[in-house]
Structure 1
Amino acid sequence: MIRGFIQFCKELIQDRKVIFDLAKNDFKAKYTNSLLGVVWAFMLPLTIILVLWFVFQVGFKSTPVDNIPFVLWYIPAFLSWNFFTDAFGAGAGCISDYSYLVKNMQFRVSALPVVKILSSSFVHLFFIGFIFVIYAVYGWMPNIYNIQVVYYYICMVVLLLGVSWIMSALAVFSRDILNIIQLVVQVGFWATPLMWDPRSMPHIVQMVVKINPMYYICTGYRETFCGQTWFWKHPMLTLYFWIFATAQLILGAYVFHKLRPQFADML
């Protein structure tokens, strides 16, 4: 299994131009028939951020969290969650989206989730830059802790790859999988501490919330920009996340490999 994954990584590097071109075309294709085109990819997250800023900062006059303005505390976690949900949903449907490649024996179908993750990354990278701009407006300048965004992005990609392999393989056999994903995303938005501080909850609730691997990533993004805390300061959470993500990656590779021969017949 480990040898197969190493080989998979080598082939990704070899086929990087093809994968990048597919991701670029995938990104453009999402908005081909709309008047504003790819602008819509940035419009929705910006609108949500603006509305929530107005509601909580202007309307409710939310108090700062750890002396950090609410909007600065909220944006990094929200944008990491937005990237996850976008890539998760797209990755689950990648087999049917690229059915013509599934029937091409020369193309490595297991790379299709990578195409979707990379496509979603274009928007995410833009919003990472947007975070720096918003922080600068509030007078918060870049610091050394910001480099951790690379680490947490890698965490996200590993988590997404494993879950996308599982869900995309299962979605070929049942379209209900995509509806289940929408339900999980809706529940996950409120269950993940994006708009609320878990430290204000009872200890048992905090323990339950931390089971969600996105807790580690969303909190990590937040600490990268406004917490000034290195990821290794949370050794148990870091260990738990990588055990979970690695196990999911292995399971995802197994499920995808096991079901792959039946994809062409089911499409």
Structure 2
Amino acid sequence: MNSMMKIIREQLRYFYLVRRLSVYELRSLTSGNYLGMAWEIINPAIQITIYWFVFGFGIRQREPIGDIPYLQWMLAGILVWFFITQAVMKGSKSIYSKIKMLAKMNFPMSVIPGYVIFAQFYPHLVILGLGMVFLQFIGYPVSIYYIQLPLYMLSLLAFLFSLVLITSTLTTIVRDVQMLLQSIMRMLLYLSPILWPPTLLPETWQPYMKLNPFYYIIEGYRYSLLGEGWYFLENPVYTAYFAGVILLTFFIGSYLHIKFRNQFIDFL
């Protein structure tokens, strides 16, 4: 508990620094490209087109998901997955890749994963905004359910930060963890309800899909963008489960980070 409170105090005290460093990080990632930030939109657009063609036309033969056309259904879920993937992968290697550069600066190391995640959050907001505009023109206008989106965004940021506290610590100690994470994230793309609906599974298997905490966020985004309802109210038990996962992950991540951060430099 002491570790959790210490991490929270550090984030609140240095939040202004998190914002400043996240903007610097974003600029540094795109400064060497002619198109700059445009690649943060071009790459997801290319991937969405490929997935839509392969799964929408090839595998599903343009068959809708319930009453929702496949493109709209897939788009509403995959928009958040791009952010999840980038935040987990870049956040997990943030400490060992930046600690030498930032060692002389006077702030706690827990700031590093935080600002790296925030640097990926800005492109997510841009992509999400473009996705909303696109949905307006293909039959899914803005609805009252959009007001629940900030809840899922904040929940996702809390979970990603908690998770990255764990993975960045382990990756600093054992570099092989980063390679394992790459494989896990690739698998989760196909094991999460992004490219195919969980209703294709036998009914007895479907509850196990919900053990994946990203399932909650993806469905929350989908309910919001497609106007399907209030997901967190319609699934109170699952909402409580997701909150419990965040608390447990944050507890473990805080403990590991505080325990090992004074030794991080020894593992470089």
Query: TM tier, shorter chain?
Result: over 0.9
Structure-2-length-normalised TM-score: 0.92
Deviation at 1:131, TM superposition (A): 1.9
Aligned to 2:262: 261
Q: Is the 8 A contact 2:7 2:254 kept in 1?
A: no
Aligned to 2:144: 144
Aligned to 1:205: 205
State how 1:176-215 maps to structure 2 within 5 Å.
176-215=176-215
Aligned to 1:19: 18
Aligned partner letter, 2:13: Q
Aligned to 2:110: 110
Alignment partners' CA distance in 2, 1:196 and 1:58: 13
State the Cα deviation string for residues 110-146 of structure 1 (Å, max 9, x = none): 1111101100101110111112111111132101101
Alignment partners' CA distance in 2, 1:239 and 1:66: 27
Aligned to 2:217: 217
Aligned partner letter, 1:139: G
Q: Is the 8 A contact 1:101 1:107 kept in 2?
A: no
Secondary structure of the structure 2 residue equivalent to 1:193:
coil
Aligned to 2:41: 42
Structure-1-length-normalised TM-score: 0.92
Aligned to 1:232: 233
State the Cα deviation string for residues 6-63 of structure 1 (Å, max 9, x = none): 4544443432332111101111222332332222222110111123334455666412
Secondary structure of the structure 2 residue equivalent to 1:65:
coil
Range 137-146 or range 184-193, more displaced: 137-146
Cα gap change, 1:5/1:36 in structure 2, threshold over 3 Å: closer, same or farther? Answer: same
Provide the aligned length of Structure 1 versus Structure 2: 266
Aligned to 1:28: 27
Deviation at 1:216, TM superposition (A): 0.8
Aligned to 1:122: 122
Range 58-67 or range 132-141, more displaced: 58-67
Q: Is it true that 1:153 corresponds to 2:168 in the alignment?
A: no
Q: Is it true that 1:53 corresponds to 2:58 in the alignment?
A: no
Aligned partner letter, 2:247: T
Alignment partners' CA distance in 2, 1:101 and 1:5: 26
Alignment partners' CA distance in 2, 1:266 and 1:11: 23
Q: Is the 8 A contact 1:194 1:218 kept in 2?
A: yes
Q: Is the 8 A contact 1:159 1:248 kept in 2?
A: yes
Alignment partners' CA distance in 2, 1:8 and 1:211: 26
Cα gap change, 1:56/1:170 in structure 2, threshold over 3 Å: closer, same or farther? Answer: closer
Structure 2: any 5+ residue segments left out of the alignment? none
Q: Is the 8 A contact 1:114 1:161 kept in 2?
A: yes
Structure 1: any 5+ residue segments left out of the alignment? none
Deviation at 1:101, TM superposition (A): 5.7
Secondary structure of the structure 2 residue equivalent to 1:135:
helix
Deviation at 1:200, TM superposition (A): 2.9
Q: Is the 8 A contact 2:55 2:195 kept in 1?
A: no
Range 60-69 or range 40-49, more displaced: 60-69
Alignment partners' CA distance in 2, 1:264 and 1:163: 21
Secondary structure of the structure 2 residue equivalent to 1:109:
coil
Q: Is it true that 1:100 corresponds to 2:100 in the alignment?
A: yes
Q: Is the 8 A contact 1:102 1:263 kept in 2?
A: no
Aligned to 2:65: 65
Aligned partner letter, 2:253: G
Cα gap change, 1:225/1:41 in structure 2, threshold over 3 Å: closer, same or farther? Answer: same
Aligned to 1:135: 135
Alignment partners' CA distance in 1, 2:237 and 2:124: 28
Alignment partners' CA distance in 2, 1:100 and 1:124: 28
- How many percent identity over aligned positions? 28
Cα gap change, 1:8/1:131 in structure 2, threshold over 3 Å: closer, same or farther? Answer: same
